[in-house]
Amino acid sequence: MNDPIDTVLAALANPTRRELLRLLRDEGQQPVQQLANHFTMQRPSISEHLKVLRDVGLVSEHKQGRQRYYYLEGAMFREVQEWLTPYERFWKDRIANLEILLAEEHHD
């Protein structure tokens, strides 16, 4: 399955990979070892998880000396957001929708 939403959701369906994304989000770009320090898992496994994230376009990396700095790549999160949009009417409940409608009328 080459569909981007499929590969992205598959990549996100793992707590280690989500924690890697959170670290890159909250602490900015960093090399593999520094990321690996946050886990009990061995470094090569972290490298494999980073490869999955790279392959689906959720992160990128640039080499500096013998280190590879990984950083978040925003575009693919948008894919998830867009996949989610048509479901919004199911979780935005009546009260929330009412508030939106009222607000819109208010500044017409």
Interface with a copy of itself by CB under 8 A: which residues? 1, 3, 5-6, 9-10, 12-13, 15, 18, 21, 25, 72-78, 80-81, 84, 86-88, 90-91, 93, 107
Between β-strands 59-64 and 30-31, what pairing exists: parallel, antiparallel or unpaired? unpaired
Binding site for DNA (CB under 7 A): 10, 13-14, 16, 31-34, 40-45, 47-52, 61, 63, 65-68
Q: Judged by CB, which is closer to DNA: 25, or 62?
A: 62
Q: Judged by CB, which is closer to DNA: 25, or 51?
A: 51
Report whether 22 contacts 7 (CB < 8 A). no
Q: Judged by CB, which is closer to a copy of itself: 65, or 85?
A: 85
> Sheet harboring 59-64: ordered strands across?
30-31, 67-72, 59-64
Q: Which of DNA, a copy of itself, none interacts with 80 (beta carbon under 5 to 8 A by kind)? A: a copy of itself
- CA angle (64 as vertex; 66, 43 as ends), nearest 5: 50
Q: Which of DNA, a copy of itself, none interacts with 75 (beta carbon under 5 to 8 A by kind)? A: a copy of itself
Contacts for 84 with CB less than 8 Å, ≥ 6 apart: none
User: How many Cα atoms are found within 13 Å in the side-chain-facing hemisphere of 75?
Assistant: 6
